[in-house]
A and B are shown apart, each in its own frame.
Chain A
């Protein structure tokens, strides 16, 4: 129970009156936040709906209520632009109702140029922003003036930032702010996580400690799998079968959030939902590829309570307060228990009522995954992977940002960087290598004496050789790896509908139709890097293959699934799914924890092998690389592969008759080293790291419009470096990152030990039930070995024959 007496001693009367007028009482953790308001660092862990954000802001509002503070007092950083806008709206209520003299503004990529300039000259008391916009702010020469009086920084949804380089960039920016405003206090707000001390270490200035406040987690969620009359399909990700049942659920709830794992799935589902929506329920769609105006319209309608349901993706994942959401539906397997729990937390914002959620598996494998996830939620078994040391590509970008703001001493910057938890162990040698990379490129061949990027002055400070370079550096700030996208707009209409990936746009021919923002549109042509479309309601659409978010795999879920497979029957599973597993057991085998199962079958003119290793997506991807390399050596002409958390599917021109030798550990280990240097995953990792570190520039629209011949693939840079400068910093970073995140070779070793050479090979004449979902997986990797060469020659020969040559 809230202790109003204790709060009263801390809260000014005007606040107590306001709480009373609203009929609210101060939550215990909100009170604790006030008690600890002077702590240099403080982490609050609270479920969504626990008044977490207000708890973060209360001390600021109290400090600002007297009206004495001049300039910026509190900086609020959230991972989402939408969250910043939403918080601004919510904060306005107490500030306006108590008539407090506080100016609140947000600043994101969407803020106008004039507004941004004004904010730098005359900052508000509370500024709401994102890590990228903050990085940009500290790159300006006037940053010391703007941040001089800063008292508090609130990092919202810090658990989400902790998982990515955006968090590393943010903490580097905070280290800068701490120098500009030494009295700065840091507050982190986090959803329920598996390892709170890790988040605390990230937040606090190293090596300081950071108290952790835990709010009452509230009652367990009311969570179940959706019951449908129709069984889920064998494969596929659309969950179209569940539309009637989902509509029924929407009807009996006030507001429902329908989460999808990818944007493409959200679009298709939304389209099908509308076709079936005979009652004309107001339903909206929200995802990151939609135009800002469109997203804002949906957000406004949602807040106004005008929508009964909203079909969405991760863009709504975080703690935006959408008002009266009383049901969360998750379409597709959640893949990760922690994320599921956080999503469920979006429902029912009354503090002590359980959140209500339904899981909707899209196919039968996902039924198994959903049941496993339900068990894990019930057991409070959250999954998480420890994070490695601070990435050096982000550090390189930070050094360039520092140079944009003005001359700096390497010693000072090094000290500052080491105050960031993730970089506390950074050696001076590594720091200097990053600095050298920024200054000279860091190549073994000292080529850029004349054209260095950074120069050292006589007083020892470092600065940009050409101050105009700051503009380019600022344009490339950020660590989010977005694929190149093109705007989509209706012909003759200036306002964009949204964005599609350039690779998707390249596959379109005139007359093709696809879904965007819930409409079917027809592709008319490409004009000045914009996809022009017209409305087309008559045809079934070609699917928009937006980039799907690849969720981090969870081995813990894989382990649960393997345990389920070992059962003789499956009373916990719906009959259709139990029958499907039964069929798999009948025609082939079910994978076992201590054996590797390999299935061979022809499909669609190609030979396939499906390897069930259950080592998690990253490891299965690496295994795909290694196995295809071995197959290449054995002249089996592999063409490509795709990996999921549990299996790797490889296709090629020739059948594999004996898979056991493919899994010989010494060969795999030896192959690993050679493979590391020349594979597609490494090239993709390199591209990411090199973009962040400022070696290559993002494909900015204006750059793309001009000179196509001038741009060349980052793969060329990778190959050149690998050949002529294999120890270069960028290759070190790429290797380190691939090993840690993408490769997971350690888990392949674990799988090899666990299975100890026991390989079961099942030869079939068609796809097995368990392998079927693999064919619809995104992220297929095409190989460029002898198989591809032969395929190219065959296709060329066929084309030549068609025109009557040879």
Chain B
């Protein structure tokens, strides 16, 4: 696989080129900022009707990662839905698709700023999750051994900007996994300030590529 393998706070990690984080010892897959139902929310609010395919595109990608890793535990790290109404209006086919992905897996929805309440879908709904030394929550705090999302970090290399993991010794921010997500360059202060001088970015794409963060 084209993953980047490293150790974070004593835990073996695979940064997958798709933007998912896989912990082999825990057999756990973590994805952040799926923003399912984004097209629905935009249509409702502005009348602009984007191609309503971000749910299937995102779930197709997730299904591939789950098939490749056979993870038994899944953490969706917040902003899994573009808002709670969008979660409610998921159509039947997509609900079935999600249910089939959830079957046989321990599935956790971590709450995000876009989806702060429980959703009417399988799995448990939590504000944050503790796995061994690691804390999973949506928005980064000052805590150690913390894995979060929210900022949609990207990094520019050789003229191309790609969604990227950003990490240092103490914390890691995951890229947005959803099909309809933009991003923010991780050298911007709002992201960079969370990290010490020796931070790294891991670019997604065909192959995960690690670079030092300036």
Interface residues of chain A, those whose CB is within 8 Å of chain B, are: 440-441, 443, 445, 447-448, 450-453, 464-466, 469, 472, 694-697, 708-713, 716-717, 720-721, 723-725, 728, 782, 784, 788-789, 791-793, 795-796, 799-800, 802-803, 805
Please report the C-alpha to C-alpha distance between residue A710 and residue B180 in the assembled complex, in whole angstroms.
9
A792 near B209: Cβ-Cβ < 8 Å: yes
Task: Determine if B89 is an interface residue (Cβ-Cβ < 8 Å).
Answer: yes
Task: Determine if B181 is an interface residue (Cβ-Cβ < 8 Å).
Answer: yes
Nearest 5 Cβ contacts at the A-B interface: A441-B49, A447-B52, A712-B182, A451-B43, A469-B47
A708 near B51: Cβ-Cβ < 8 Å: no
B50 near A717: Cβ-Cβ < 8 Å: yes
A709 near B160: Cβ-Cβ < 8 Å: no
Q: List the B side residues contacting A443 at CB < 8 Å.
A: 49, 51-53
Please report the C-alpha to C-alpha distance between residue A335 and residue B188 in the assembled complex, in whole angstroms.
43
Please report the C-alpha to C-alpha distance between residue A514 and residue B198 in the assembled complex, in whole angstroms.
34
Task: Determine if B119 is an interface residue (Cβ-Cβ < 8 Å).
Answer: no
Please report the C-alpha to C-alpha distance between residue A356 and residue B126 in the assembled complex, in whole angstroms.
78
Q: Which segment, of B68-76, B136-144, B151-159, faces chain A?
A: B151-159
| CB contact under 8 A between A697 and B48, given known A445-B53, A447-B39 | yes
Known interface pairs A440-B49, A716-B179, A784-B160; 14 further A-B residue pairs with C-beta atoms within 8 A, sorted by A's residue number: A441-B49, A441-B51, A441-B52, A443-B49, A447-B39, A450-B89, A453-B49, A697-B48, A708-B184, A717-B51, A721-B51, A724-B56, A782-B160, A796-B157
Task: Determine if B91 is an interface residue (Cβ-Cβ < 8 Å).
Answer: yes
Q: Which segment, of B19-27, B100-108, B127-135, B199-207, faces chain A?
A: B199-207
Task: Determine if B168 is an interface residue (Cβ-Cβ < 8 Å).
Answer: no
Task: Determine if B176 is an interface residue (Cβ-Cβ < 8 Å).
Answer: yes
Task: Determine if B57 is an interface residue (Cβ-Cβ < 8 Å).
Answer: yes
Q: List the B side residues contacting A445 at CB < 8 Å.
A: 52-53
B48 near A695: Cβ-Cβ < 8 Å: yes
A799 near B182: Cβ-Cβ < 8 Å: no
Q: List 11 A-B contacts (CB under 8 A).
A: A441-B51, A445-B53, A447-B52, A465-B47, A695-B50, A709-B184, A710-B182, A724-B53, A784-B160, A792-B205, A796-B210
Q: List the A side residues contacting B57 at CB < 8 Å.
A: 720, 723-724
| CB contact under 8 A between A709 and B53, given known A451-B47, A789-B206, A800-B210 | no
Task: Determine if B46 is an interface residue (Cβ-Cβ < 8 Å).
Answer: yes
Closest to A476 in B: B48
Q: List the A side residues contacting B48 at CB < 8 Å.
A: 453, 472, 694-697
Task: Determine if B212 is an interface residue (Cβ-Cβ < 8 Å).
Answer: yes
Q: List the A side residues contacting B209 at CB < 8 Å.
A: 792-793, 796
Please report the C-alpha to C-alpha distance between residue A708 and residue B181 in the assembled complex, in whole angstroms.
10
Please report the C-alpha to C-alpha distance between residue A725 and residue B53 in the assembled complex, in whole angstroms.
9
Query: Out of A469, A720, A788, A805, which one reaches B54, CB within 8 Å?
Result: A720
Nearest-neighbour CB distance to chain A for B85, whole angstroms, equals 10
Query: Out of B40, B179, B181, B206, which one reaches A447, CB within 8 Å?
Result: B40
Q: Is the interface of B mostly helix, strand, loop or mixed?
A: loop
Task: Determine if B97 is an interface residue (Cβ-Cβ < 8 Å).
Answer: no
Task: Determine if B183 is an interface residue (Cβ-Cβ < 8 Å).
Answer: yes
Please report the C-alpha to C-alpha distance between residue A710 and residue B211 in the assembled complex, in whole angstroms.
25
Q: List the A side residues contacting B51 at CB < 8 Å.
A: 441, 443, 717, 720-721, 724-725, 728
| CB contact under 8 A between A805 and B212, given known A713-B182, A716-B180 | yes
B47 near A464: Cβ-Cβ < 8 Å: yes
Please report the C-alpha to C-alpha distance between residue A728 and residue B56 in the assembled complex, in whole angstroms.
17
Interface residues of chain B, those whose CB is within 8 Å of chain A, are: 39-40, 43-44, 46-54, 56-57, 89, 91, 151-152, 157-160, 176, 179-184, 198, 203, 205-207, 209-212
Query: Out of A469, A724, A795, A799, which one reaches B46, CB within 8 Å?
Result: A469
Query: Among A453, A710, A712, A793, which residue has the most Cβ atoms of chain B within 10 A?
Result: A712
B180 near A695: Cβ-Cβ < 8 Å: no
Q: List the B side residues contacting A453 at CB < 8 Å.
A: 43, 47-49
Query: Among B49, B54, B203, B207, which residue has the most Cβ atoms of chain A within 10 A?
Result: B49
Q: List the A side residues contacting B89 at CB < 8 Å.
A: 450
A788 near B160: Cβ-Cβ < 8 Å: yes
Nearest-neighbour CB distance to chain B for A651, whole angstroms, equals 13
Please report the C-alpha to C-alpha distance between residue A445 and residue B182 in the assembled complex, in whole angstroms.
24
Please report the C-alpha to C-alpha distance between residue A721 and residue B52 in the assembled complex, in whole angstroms.
9
Q: List the B side residues contacting A795 at CB < 8 Å.
A: 157-158, 211
| CB contact under 8 A between A792 and B176, given known A447-B91, A469-B46, A721-B51 | no
Please report the C-alpha to C-alpha distance between residue A789 and residue B51 in the assembled complex, in whole angstroms.
29
| CB contact under 8 A between A789 and B56, given known A443-B51, A450-B89, A712-B181 | no
Nearest-neighbour CB distance to chain A for B81, whole angstroms, equals 14
Q: List the A side residues contacting B43 at CB < 8 Å.
A: 441, 448, 451, 453
Please report the C-alpha to C-alpha distance between residue A141 and residue B210 in the assembled complex, in whole angstroms.
57
Q: List the A side residues contacting B54 at CB < 8 Å.
A: 720
Closest to B182 in A: A712
Nearest-neighbour CB distance to chain A for B188, whole angstroms, equals 9
Q: List the B side residues contacting A784 at CB < 8 Å.
A: 160
A708 near B47: Cβ-Cβ < 8 Å: no
Q: List the A side residues contacting B152 at CB < 8 Å.
A: 709
B211 near A799: Cβ-Cβ < 8 Å: yes
Q: List the A side residues contacting B44 at CB < 8 Å.
A: 450-451
Please report the C-alpha to C-alpha distance between residue A472 and residue B160 in the assembled complex, in whole angstroms.
32
Please report the C-alpha to C-alpha distance between residue A450 and residue B211 in the assembled complex, in whole angstroms.
46
Query: Out of A447, A450, A696, A799, which one reaches B212, CB within 8 Å?
Result: A799
A791 near B158: Cβ-Cβ < 8 Å: yes
Please report the C-alpha to C-alpha distance between residue A355 and residue B203 in the assembled complex, in whole angstroms.
59
Nearest-neighbour CB distance to chain A for B96, whole angstroms, equals 15
B53 near A720: Cβ-Cβ < 8 Å: yes
Closest to B57 in A: A720
A709 near B181: Cβ-Cβ < 8 Å: yes
Nearest-neighbour CB distance to chain B for A538, whole angstroms, equals 29
Please report the C-alpha to C-alpha distance between residue A26 and residue B40 in the assembled complex, in whole angstroms.
63
Closest to A446 in B: B52
Please report the C-alpha to C-alpha distance between residue A452 and residue B40 in the assembled complex, in whole angstroms.
11
Q: List the B side residues contacting A441 at CB < 8 Å.
A: 43, 49-52
Nearest-neighbour CB distance to chain A for B110, whole angstroms, equals 17
Please report the C-alpha to C-alpha distance between residue A720 and residue B61 in the assembled complex, in whole angstroms.
12
Q: List the B side residues contacting A788 at CB < 8 Å.
A: 158, 160
B158 near A472: Cβ-Cβ < 8 Å: no
Please report the C-alpha to C-alpha distance between residue A464 and residue B46 in the assembled complex, in whole angstroms.
12
Please report the C-alpha to C-alpha distance between residue A696 and residue B52 in the assembled complex, in whole angstroms.
13
Q: List the A side residues contacting B91 at CB < 8 Å.
A: 447
Nearest-neighbour CB distance to chain A for B120, whole angstroms, equals 17
| CB contact under 8 A between A709 and B182, given known A447-B39, A728-B51 | yes
Please report the C-alpha to C-alpha distance between residue A724 and residue B157 in the assembled complex, in whole angstroms.
30
| CB contact under 8 A between A466 and B206, given known A450-B89, A709-B152, A795-B157 | no
| CB contact under 8 A between A792 and B157, given known A447-B40, A451-B40, A708-B182 | yes
Query: Among A465, A716, A723, which residue has the most Cβ atoms of chain B within 10 A?
Result: A716
Nearest-neighbour CB distance to chain A for B87, whole angstroms, equals 15
Q: List the A side residues contacting B207 at CB < 8 Å.
A: 789, 793
B151 near A709: Cβ-Cβ < 8 Å: yes
Nearest-neighbour CB distance to chain B for A433, whole angstroms, equals 14
Query: Among B54, B158, B183, B203, which residue has the most Cβ atoms of chain A within 10 A?
Result: B158
Closest to A789 in B: B206
Please report the C-alpha to C-alpha distance between residue A452 and residue B176 in the assembled complex, in whole angstroms.
28
Please report the C-alpha to C-alpha distance between residue A619 and residue B198 in the assembled complex, in whole angstroms.
48
Please report the C-alpha to C-alpha distance between residue A694 and residue B157 in the assembled complex, in whole angstroms.
32
Closest to B184 in A: A708
Q: List the B side residues contacting A452 at CB < 8 Å.
A: 49
A803 near B212: Cβ-Cβ < 8 Å: yes
Nearest-neighbour CB distance to chain B for A635, whole angstroms, equals 15
Closest to B161 in A: A713
Nearest-neighbour CB distance to chain A for B155, whole angstroms, equals 10
Q: List the B side residues contacting A469 at CB < 8 Å.
A: 46-47
Nearest-neighbour CB distance to chain B for A341, whole angstroms, equals 40
Nearest-neighbour CB distance to chain A for B94, whole angstroms, equals 10
Closest to B89 in A: A450
Nearest-neighbour CB distance to chain A for B88, whole angstroms, equals 11
Nearest-neighbour CB distance to chain B for A606, whole angstroms, equals 13
Q: List the B side residues contacting A450 at CB < 8 Å.
A: 44, 89
